[in-house]
A and B are shown apart, each in its own frame.
Chain A
Amino acid sequence: MKSFNHTIKDQLGIHARPAGLLVKEANKFASGITITKGEKKVDAKKIFAVMSLAAKHGDIVTLCAEGDDEDDAIAALQMFMDGNL
């Protein structure tokens, strides 16, 4: 299992558009991928779940991948989060 923490830099937080992009990115991988904010942990491949986190600017979220392609998934997600959120 691989994971990393990320502080949301986007002023609006994980709003609809980046949530969509994140779900799209997560679905490229076979590994199970979760995103956690505080005590709430959700499936990063489901858009309603990701939006329900209501992650805001300054919040710290943890992305976690588990499966055969977890290394690739984490690398790609790290790049995605740095570039978009």
Chain B
Amino acid sequence: MITLKGTAVFGGIAFGKIAYFKRKQGQVKRSRVEDSGLEIARFEAAKAAAIGQLKELHDKARGEVGEAHAMIFEVHQMMLDDGDYIDSVVNIVTSQQVNAEYAVAVTADNFAAMFAAMDDEYMKERAADVKDISERVIGILSGAEQGGISFDAPVILAAEDLAPSETVTLDKDKILSFITMGGSVNSHTAILARMMNIPAIVGLGDALGEHLDGKDAIVDGFNGSVYINPDAQTLAQMKEKAEADAEKKRLLEQLKGKENVTLDGRTIDIFANIGNVADTAAALQNDAGGIGLFRSEFLYLQTRDYPTEEEQFQAYKTVAETMAGKKVVIRTLDIGADKQIGYFNLPVEENPALGFRAIRICLERPEIFKTQLRALYRASAFGNIAIMFPMIISVEEVIDIKKIIAEVHSELDAANVPYSKDVECGIMIETPASVMISDLLAKEVDFFSVGTNDLTQYTLALDRQNPQLERFHNAHHTAILRMIQMAADNAHKEGKWIGICGELAADLELTETFLKMGIDELSVSPPYVLPLREKVRSIGAAKPK
């Protein structure tokens, strides 16, 4: 058995025979021509034909992988029509009195070299685009067939790298996996694999080659390994891994669109936690009923300065629109403690977990807070947004927040900016103080969401980042469960809902307990949505006492 290592770009296990794809490389010959005008006319005609083909590929790809990914073929058309590209070809033909094929090949090499020399991994990859479009033109000029890639039986497709025009002409039913010598996570092969949901590994290097054609192999798209002629032990391991993966997919098939209802008819909302706009796709794929926790910190972490109201607005709006009317609970800025951001210039603290963080920063620096609230309320006109405030310990904080919200409302009213009047405002229950006064807090807010990670750390006085404390840590500690019960009872007395968005929400051993407590919503990271749904649907008696 030989094991090859590369970069995994999409998970999954594939078993099959390797088919090595070798590009037909017509050697371009340099020949002198008498009539350079005729050569230029040949080039123009070939270019027009190539653009026509790319238009067709664009339409085909749009149907298969969507407009965003198909756009590359429109970019390819523009590249062929680029003034500098055409000038270079025409100039070589006229100045050297050579054939169009040669002029295109030289131009392609020059432009590809420009990209390859760029100090940017993504841009380096674009050298492949230049070669791809140029080979198309040369192919047309020399009358060569632009052959698609086809196979009789499904294969693991191996290649040096695949050009976009090659990947789009593939017979997708016959591809079990892609493995390439070159390429990166930004290459078209990688993008296509993700769209097709098949395992793919790039950057396998010279170890992969034509000599492996026809060999039996297993591709592990989770860890980037390819096993050639796998031994019995590896085969068994991989089969097990593939079954676990299939089990996940089975859950998806069976449970998508189903209700989160127990056998005795109690329903619960299962939402997803997300950390950026792109995660919304995973939430939808896993059929989450809404977003129970959208951590807004990413907006602050990815910039070098405070994100503008407009940037924040766009992010919130996109998620709200994408979730199309489903609830999206956005938590306001929660930094400090273990999440530090340079430009905030926060003082160094002896005890950051008990320090200047989250809502405390927002109330001390209302200008930062107001920018975020304005963006949130503006976005509320585009979907079902709820706002959640972290690290609350007193009713006074909630009153202060409400004052700032009232100011934001009157500013928006004055500027005639639309926003929803029904935005729910809730708080995180993550301090023992908030639990002890949850009866008072419930009168002031629309909902609670329990952050079990911080609640555990503060209740048990255990630093969650200190590995030495492992043996003292008990996630199911009665103190925590009593705290959640108390907050739930107080929420319900005021007719408010309560969710759990911390790690404990995904703990299937506690699902039944939470249901009996009367918890209304559990919010978990997207891959846990369906396993949690399956668990809920298997529970017999879950009506609250």
Contact = CB atoms under 8 A, between A and B. Distances in A.
Interface string B58-98: 00000000001001101100110011110000000000000
Nearest to A15: B122
A48 B79 contact: yes
Contact of A43 (B83, B120, B122, B123): B83
Contact of B302 (A11, A13, A43): A11
Contacts, number: 52
Given A46-B83, A51-B126, A54-B119, A20 B311 contact: no
A23 B78 contact: yes
A48 B85 contact: yes
A24 B129 CA distance: 18
B310 interface: yes
* Most chain B CB within a 10 A radius of its CB, from A13, A24, A48, A52: A48
A48 B111 contact: yes
Contact of B120 (A46, A49, A54): A54
A47 B304 contact: no
Sorting the interface of chain A by its residue count into under 10, 10 to 19, 20 to 34 or 35 or more gives 20 to 34
Contacts of A19: 75
A43 B85 CA distance: 13
Interface in A20-58: 20-21, 23-24, 43, 45-49, 51-52, 54, 56, 58
Interface string B109-139: 0010011001110110010010000000000
B79 A82 contact: no
Given A17-B72, A48-B84, A12 B122 contact: yes
Given A11-B302, A16-B129, A47 B75 contact: yes
A13 B82 CA distance: 21
Contacts of B310: 82
Contacts of B75: 16-17, 19-20, 47
A24 B74 CA distance: 10
Interface string B277-314: 00000000000000000000000001010000011000
Nearest to B278: A11
Nearest to B73: A20
B82 A47 contact: yes
A11 B120 CA distance: 13
Nearest to B74: A20
A47 B78 contact: yes
Contacts of A51: 115, 123, 126
A11 B122 CA distance: 11
Contacts of B118: 52, 54
B71 A24 contact: no
A51 B74 CA distance: 15
B200 to A, nearest CB: 20
Contacts of B79: 47-48
A62 B428 CA distance: 44
A63 B333 CA distance: 34
Contacts of B83: 43, 45-46
Contact of B114 (A9, A11, A16, A52): A52
A12 B57 CA distance: 25
A17 B68 contact: yes
Nearest to A20: B75
Given A17-B71, A58-B304, A24 B78 contact: yes
A20 B71 contact: yes
Contacts of B71: 17, 20-21
A17 B111 CA distance: 18
- Which 7 pairs from chain A and chain B are nearest by CB? A20-B75, A47-B78, A17-B71, A16-B75, A54-B120, A48-B82, A54-B118
20 contacts: A13-B120, A16-B72, A16-B75, A16-B129, A17-B71, A19-B75, A20-B71, A46-B82, A46-B83, A46-B84, A47-B79, A48-B82, A48-B84, A48-B85, A48-B111, A49-B82, A51-B126, A52-B118, A56-B120, A58-B304
Interface of A: 9, 11-13, 15-17, 19-21, 23-24, 43, 45-49, 51-52, 54, 56, 58, 82
